[in-house]
Structure 1
Amino acid sequence: MTDHLGEAARVKHAAKAAIKEKRYNDAWRLLNEQQGHWLSHAGKMGFTKAQTLSLLSSINEDFANIHRLEGRHDDALAHIMYAIGSDRRAPQSRIKKLEPYFNRCKFDHSYSVKRAELGVKTLRKEPDFGIAQELVASMRDGTASTGK
């Protein structure tokens, strides 16, 4: 029987080392491997959807960090919004990252971070990464209708 938590910890450690060494593709692959182990563990333990999403949310925070380091700020914002929105008890340290991630996007429009906060509320009701991407894209192309 596989020790999914032990394997997840092992690959997480390797992913952190890859990030430090700026080997972002390797880090991304390792974080996906970690996610697979956590999904297997959640399935074995009978986690609910909400519990599983909360468990996986920290991986999206790591994905956001990689995108930030690569200068892909819109992608980073989508990941941090999803990481916060998919975790019903997101830590304050993660929530505090929303505004800096939003500000790095330098949207041409006069959107405030309130728009991203509304997006997080939407994601709390319906955690879907595709929705996070659409919300960020709507701020980029000027179709967002609230949060100015």
Structure 2
Amino acid sequence: MWTSRVHATDVSDAVSLTAHQFQRWIDKRYELRVTCVGQRPFPAEIHAGSEASRIDFRRDYDSLTYRVCALPAPVESGLRRLMKTLELHYLACDVLVDQDGEWFLVDINPNGQWGFVPELRVPITRALADLLEGNE
């Protein structure tokens, strides 16, 4: 299901019938997909090139540009603690960075996609192979 902007007046009592995730709107400068394999993070900035992709980058892959980047040390160590706590060997998470440079964790996904970031396809594939072979 795509992310959509809603206002409180758009939400009825019907939301009580199933699970929903609501969060405040964050005017993002860009977002990141951080794929972690074992203890290795593979972060990439995702820059939206259309209004649709500003709301949900999955709505318009053709308008996106990517940049492999580094994580701040506290974010990287936090992801390692999260993976250890949840006993995960693979994790994809989405992070928004607002106009002031503040970071917001949007979600974590133990089965998230990673192949759409061209520069990270080979390194993540190798890291997954190493993990599966016990060579991490």
The structure whose RCO (Cα within 8 Å, separation 6+) is larger is: 2
What TM-score do you get using the length of structure 2 for normalisation?
0.27
Which structure is higher in helix share? 1
Which structure is higher in strand share? 2
